[in-house]
Every structure is written in C-alpha cells, then in structure tokens.
Amino acid sequence: MTQKRTAILAALLSATALSGAYAADPIKIGVVTPLSGTYAGIGQQVKWGLELATKEVNAAGGIMGRQVELTFEDEEANPSVAVQKADKLFQVGKVDFLTGTVNSGSTLAVGQVAERAGKLIATTVSFADSITADKCSPNVFRVNARAGQQSSALAVWLSKEKPKAQVFYLGPDYEMGRSTVAAFKSSAEKVGANSTGEVFAPLDSKDYTQYFGQLRAAKPQVLYTSVAGNDTVRLFTQLQEFGLLNNLTVVGASGTVTAQNLGAIGKAAEGFVTGVGYSAEIDTPENKKFVAAFKAANKSDPDLYGADSYGLIYAYKAAVEKAKATDTDKVRAAFKDLKWMTPQGEKTLRGGDHQAVQTMYVVKVTGGKFTIVGQVKGEDAIGPDTCTRF
C-alpha cells in the first residue's frame, strides 16, 4: 500500500517537477522493519520517519535528480523473517540500500545478508554496542546512538545532579538488558556512584513487584532500569502503586520511556531521566520544522526512532551525492567520516566502526513531556573504536 503510494507520489512529482526532463530511474531503499508483533510500535515510527524524509527529498528534486522509492517489508520481529525479506529486497526489489531492522538479532543477521549480497545497510534503532564493536561489519552502519553513548551521557548528568548516589539496577534478563546495565554501572561507578544491588527480571514480566523487596532493602536514591516497551508501563505503574517513586529518581535507557508508551505510563513517568540521541524538545529551527512536519503527517510526536530514521535518508542522500553513484564501494567510502545535518544537529559517521557520533541529550519527563536538562558533546560520549574487522 505504502510503497504504491510512494511510487505514485514519485511518479506525480517526476511528471510535474521535472516536467518533461528525462525521469531517471528511482533510487530504491528497502525497509525491513517490524510492522507486526512486539516491536510494531517502533516499526511504525521508523516507517513514519523514513516516509517523511523521502517525501521532502523527492519534493526537492530527489537525490542527484533521481526520486527515492521506499519498499516496506514486515519482519515480524523475527530474524528468520528479516533475512528472508532482506534477501527479497536485494535480489528481487533490486534495492540500492536497506534499513529498518529493530532488534539487534535482526540487524546482525541482515548485515550478514548484505555482506553476501554486496550491499549496504544501516540501522536506525538497534542499541547493542556489539553491532559497531566486536560484531561490526564493513557493510553495516548505525546512525543512532548506541547503548554506550547513552549511558555515558546519563552518567555525566548523574555525577552533577546526584553526586555519589546510591544506585540500584533493574534490567530485563537477556543479552541487551544485561549489557546496558553493565555499561551504565561502569560509567556511573567511574563518576563516583555506589552500586547497591542489581536484579534482572525476565522479558515480558507481568509483575515487577516481587523485586521491590530487594529494591526497598537497598535504600537507593537512584534506580536505573533498561526495560522497554510494555514492560516499562508495568514497571512504572507498579512502582507508583507501591509508593516507591517518592524520594527515588528513576533513570534508564533511551528505549525505556518513549513517545509510544509515555501516554500509557502517565504520571508515573514524571521525573524519569535518560540519556538519548534525540528529543522532540530540542530547541533548534531544524528540529522545530521537523517536529511540525512529522506531527502534520502522522498526528503523533516523533521519538528517537522516528527522528533517527528521518535523518538516515539525509545521510544516504549526502553520501550518494558525495560518491556521485549508488555503488556499494563508492557509497561506503563516502559514508566514511561523513558529516550531515539531522533534526538533532550535525552527526558524524565514524569511519573506524561505522558508528554515528552525535551530541547526546539528557532528558527528563516533566509535566508529561520530555524536557532537555543537559547535553554531552559527541566526542565525550562516544568511547573508543573497538572494531577490528576493517
């Protein structure tokens, strides 16, 4: 449906804007993203962000005079499906570039498909550090901030606002959850925080109240959590129910509280602080323009996923225009240390590990909205390049 709409739009634009001039073949970007299943809400933001940027780029004449065409495939939050759909887009759809994967398992597996097909992909969502560290790939880029960047930013804020805080950690018990907790713990301890305990709850836990005994006994001032999505809604609701939110600052990963679940969490989210690569509140003309356009198109605020996906199209545009081609090797070379503008300011794609370096924001939920309470410069949050493959 959407691909048809985009195609019609592209056709209309090429008929009017280029009016008679030869209509070059469109540049095709494949999107393999979860439109159903657990991560459907994130997939929706990815889709909205990409569609908005594509519409703007096409209205302004496309990339090197070529229109951009998006083709969506649902990966059902399942790497096996993602791989099959990526293969389809590469082989049958003949896409020039691919994006959209959300869970890190899908990103890693699709990255391998891209390597074998000789194409490039970028993730705009996956946080796992490994994607641009020990499991890095010459064909995979990441334009969003990884877990390490987020926790460094948050730790900087913590050291200023709550020096020598007593911190308790509550993470979802799977690879991602454990690594985010470990990353923040080491960042926080470096700036003088004391760890008072940690607990890991299974993914999709119904009830977090069973861990509240340990939490209460540890008497922390700060609770760090990296649960996400529906799990966050439950955790916060139950913390509030048990009256634990008084005198406790809750901080967390950037995926913990987002525009998708903020409404459902309601008042319980008040005071939550996170380090994140994007906030709709960033006070720049570029961002205001972006937020207004996003709201007009989708009747919803953009969150980090929508904004990073939106920014990707401009990164790809910049790279293709620099390379003057869509060939894999040329675009890869053009992506190296590429600087480009996004709603959240300038980003740089580090050549050594394909990780975007960007200003990190510390945001706090106040009055049901995210407000920015701090900023950390890109180079201070990024951490060393540990990718050894290229």
Tell me if 213 contacts another protein by CB under 8 A: yes
Q: Which is nearer to another protein, 66 or 85 (CB)?
A: 85
Q: Give me the residue label for tokens 């006070």.
A: 283
3-class SS of residue 4: helix
Cβ 39 to another protein, closest distance in Å? Answer: 8
Tell me if 174 contacts another protein by CB under 8 A: yes
Query: What is the pattern of x (binds another protein, CB under 8 A) and - over residues 238-267?
Result: x--xxx----------------xx-xxxx-
- Total binding residues toward another protein, as defined by CB under 8 A: 69
Structure tokens at 20: 């008679």
Q: Give me the residue label for tokens 């913590």.
A: 158
Tell me if 104 contacts another protein by CB under 8 A: yes
Q: Are 200 and 171 in contact (CB under 8 A)?
A: yes
Query: What is the pattern of x (binds another protein, CB under 8 A) and - over residues 17-36?
Result: ------------------xx
Q: Which is nearer to another protein, 166 or 230 (CB)?
A: 230
Tell me if 58 contacts another protein by CB under 8 A: no
CA neighbor of 101 nearest in space, from 36, 43, 185: 43
Tell me if 73 contacts another protein by CB under 8 A: yes
CA dist 38 and 78 (Å) reads 10
Tell me if 388 contacts another protein by CB under 8 A: no
CA dist 310 and 358 (Å) reads 15
Q: Which is nearer to another protein, 14 or 226 (CB)?
A: 226
CA dist 360 and 151 (Å) reads 10
Identified binder of another protein from the candidate list 13, 57, 113, 282, rule CB under 8 A: 113
Identified binder of another protein from the candidate list 7, 18, 61, 84, rule CB under 8 A: 84
Output the DSSP codes for 232-293.
Answer: HHHHHHHHHHTT-STT-EEEE-TTTS-HHHHHHHGGGGTT-EEEES--TT--SHHHHHHHHH
CA neighbor of 253 nearest in space, from 106, 120, 373, 149: 149
Residues near another protein (CB under 8 A): 1, 35-38, 40-41, 43-44, 73-74, 76, 78-80, 83-85, 87-88, 90-92, 103-105, 108-109, 111-113, 116, 128, 130, 135, 173-176, 199-202, 204-207, 209-213, 216-217, 229-230, 233-234, 237-238, 241-243, 260-261, 263-266
